[in-house]
A and B are shown apart, each in its own frame.
Chain A
Amino acid sequence: MKRLALLALLVPALAFADEPKPQAPVPAPKDAKPSVVERARLEIQPSGRSFKKIQIENPLGDVRVEGYDGTAIQIETRKQGPNEEAIDRLRVSLVPNPDGTVRMKTTADGGPESTPLARGSVRIDLIVRAPRDAHIEATSSSGQLEVSNMDAGGDLDSGSGKITVRNVAGELSTHSVSGPTSLTQVFGSVDAQIMSNDLALDSIGGERLIASVNQGKIEGRRVRSRNIELTTMHGNIVFEGEASLRGRFIISSLKGDIDVKLRRNGVMIVRARGSKVNLGSTAKAGPDGWVETQHGKLAANESPATVELRSREGTVDFSLVQW
């Protein structure tokens, strides 16, 4: 932390000072307050060891991380504020460590008490081009958090900003309090958790997909993860995917409806509970309240894929999608 503070003072001065300050007024509506924008670019080269992990903490704006085939990290910052004094309070610190970790953090220095600066009046946006094989740990607050084209997964944390992930391999973990989350083309285990907003999944593959949403819905398309656990408390779950051989699906909701469409690659046993359950014409209701159906004939020593669907107060619909 102390290193961070030290370098927070040094790095911006050294790294960004040589960049000319294009302080052009931002085109804005006539009734908008005038603002000042300052842009800077920086490239850091690995010193001996490649960058393995990039930690970004930007509570003041958007974060966009794009993977590319190079070895350097290219950073573009965009500071915006009502005047130069406000811009001067905005800081971007950059701490490269010998273990291959690079930390970036944005802060706002304290200013005169007589002129408090509202958080909404300033922002820092970061665009980072990073080596594909670096692991990304990024946090934002109300700003958007976008990660794309990375191969070593990530850990993304947002307050109310949207999380968008596209074309990422490796283990991915996302958390958001009230921002929507969209994961597309993720090839690796996924753990997504949202308190109050929606989760959209598209083209997900990997060993494990665990997602939970408290107030919001989950929509999944083209999901091929082997083990899947989706949970909502108050939102619907609409899911279309492919059941892996011996895969395990648990899709559950407290009050939301569940609609699942699956392709199968082997024998699949589906069981469901809900206020109203529709598993197709072959389904049978048991005395314990479960409705069950089996697709395909189970051979000796064969383990089926299992699908468990349950909604305490919502309906459950399941259909098999043929090849």
Chain B
Amino acid sequence: MTCDDVRPRLTAYLDGDLDPDRGTVVRGHLRTCDACRTIAEQESVLRDGLRDLPTVDAPSGMWANIQSQLAAAEITESRRPGWKRALARWTPMLPRFAMGGVLAAAAVGILWWRTHESVAVEPAPNKIVDVASPKIESSAPIAVAPKTGCNLDAPAGTDVTVDLAGEAARVTACYAQTAAELMTLARETRGTWTDEQRASFDVQVADLQKAVERAEDGRPRQRAWRAMNRYLQTTLTRDQVALASAVTP
């Protein structure tokens, strides 16, 4: 394998995405090729640097606002005539054409005309993507994971290999059960909250539940459940203050 073969694969290699055979080949090449190793190290340093950047917490209501604005914009967009949408797409390009000169503008225009002439463009159907923020119904029950029983031990007589294979699921079940218990406490308490507090709580929990559902099995899902538990604990012990503030990461 040459440098030209290796370099396009370096990112995948560092990400651990290469299959074992290719990974071994790339690793072998890096042991002998200073140039490629330097590139790999530079990329690795860059990745580490990016990873070390501090995490900035978005305000709690930000995503809900963004989603509702996106939804509103898409609904508006979907109702506009097709020619207006096409015009709107190209309007931001006009200053660039002007700055690039008449010749460049003409060339681009011709190119645009030619490509659109040769390709039959099917008008995109007006598709309304439902990205609105979660509906807030203060009295709506909040679905949580069913009680699964928090037992980290596998049944007696289970072979160690099978036992290990099922461990992540058992740990996840424990976190889910804790969340269910906390949610029960929250349901008992929510009667004392204002409508605004209930709405805020429901939005936060909905977001955290989505994160749980989206997370991969194993440690990522456990992490998501822990975030849910942390939020519920904070809310239950600090009532109105926590409801108004962002979730602790």
Q: Which of B152, B158, B233 contacts A212 (CB 8 A)?
A: B233
Main secondary structure of the interface of B (DSSP, over half): helix
A178 at the interface (CB under 8 A from B): yes
A159 within 8 A of B: yes
State which residues 81-133 of A face B: CB under 8 Å.
89, 97-100, 107-111, 113, 116-119, 121-122
Residues 219-249 of B, flagged 1 when their CB comes within 8 A of A and 0 if not, give: 1001000100110011011110100000010
Asked if A160 meets B234 with Cβ closer than 8 Å, knowing A5-B20, A98-B44, A110-B161, the reply is no
**By the criterion CB–CB under 8 Å, are A233 and B152 in contact?**
no
Pick the interface stretch among B95-103, B124-132, B174-182.
B174-182
Neighbour of B233 across the interface among A89, A111, A160, A231, CB < 8 A: A231
- For chain A, the bracket of interface size reads 35 or more
User: B57 on the interface (CB 8 Å rule)?
Assistant: no
- Does the CB pair A212–B230 fall under 8 Å? yes
B residues lining the A interface (CB < 8 Å): 14, 16, 18-20, 23-24, 27, 30-31, 37, 40-41, 44, 47-48, 150, 152, 154, 156-161, 163-164, 167, 171, 174-175, 178, 182, 185, 219, 222, 226, 229-230, 233-234, 236-239, 241, 248
Interface residues of A (CB under 8 A from B): 1-3, 5-6, 47-49, 52, 59-60, 89, 97-100, 107-111, 113, 116-119, 121-122, 139, 141-142, 157, 159-160, 175, 177-178, 193, 195, 210, 212, 214, 229, 231-233, 250, 252-254, 308, 310-312
12 A-B residue pairings within 8 Å (CB atoms)? A1-B16, A60-B164, A98-B37, A99-B44, A99-B47, A117-B161, A139-B219, A177-B150, A193-B229, A193-B230, A231-B237, A254-B233
With A109-B161, A116-B158 given, name 14 new contacts (CB 8 A).
A1-B16, A2-B23, A98-B14, A98-B27, A116-B160, A118-B156, A118-B157, A119-B154, A122-B160, A177-B150, A195-B175, A254-B185, A308-B241, A312-B236
